[in-house]
Structure 1
Amino acid sequence: MTGPAAGTVPRPVPAVLAVVLRGPEVLLVRRANPPDAGLWGFPGGRIEPGETLAGAACRELAEETGLTARPGPVIDALDAIGDGYHYILIALVCDAPDGAPVAADDALEAGWHRIAALSDDDPRFSRDVARLARKAAGR
């Protein structure tokens, strides 16, 4: 297994992604802060001490969009490693909430995106957004 040189990346931080589906659409937020500032991705963030995966996903969704949803299963886990960070991202599918998302906290925008229109190569989206959205829709 290879990776960055020792000492260049801090200890991994566990985090969640809330993959919220509504029919043929998925909820995305445009991130205000690094990593991935300016890119569209799933609502999510660090897991607080003593917090469950489901609890963290619901909290982050509410903080970033004002919406509440019922958490479902974990569909994937991936690494986000960059200059000065290493997150272990755990993606959970969440049932579609009622209401319209309103960007808050570290989200610049929030909105529904058609899964069929997402592309793995689109530079406007964080890595794995299209793949995870398709995986969640096919669960």
Structure 2
Amino acid sequence: MIRSASARYEGLGKDGKGHVSTQSGVLSDQQYGFNTRFEDGKGTNPEELIAAAHASCFTMALSFALAGAGFTDGTLETTAKVTLDKDGDGFKVSKSALTLTANVPGIDQAKFEEIAAGAKAGCPISKLLNAEITLEHTLTA
């Protein structure tokens, strides 16, 4: 399976303007640039897109792991906060902090923690990122 996205950047540096699109069309010429990455400009940025990818990948991985363990119902909500840090003359993504709220009827805390940790480690986006990945979770009744 191969999925694709494309980016175009017109102009250079801070004055440049970019647009990003995805194969599915969910993003179509979405604006990005210096002002959307380092200021509060309208549009997206690579770290936000990585956060969306990580949150959705982890949540789906956890959903499938819970189903595989015999659980049949539940609600999972995950937020990913991706940190961009200075790294010498450039930058690096240093962390993706996952925060999960879950409602899975019939599961106990220990089993939930075990399955969630496995999903965090096994999700393809977690495997892709060379960054610290943390997971905080709340299991509601």
TM-score w.r.t. the length of structure 2 is: 0.30
User: Which protein is richer in helix relative to its size?
Assistant: 2
TM-score w.r.t. the length of structure 1 is: 0.30
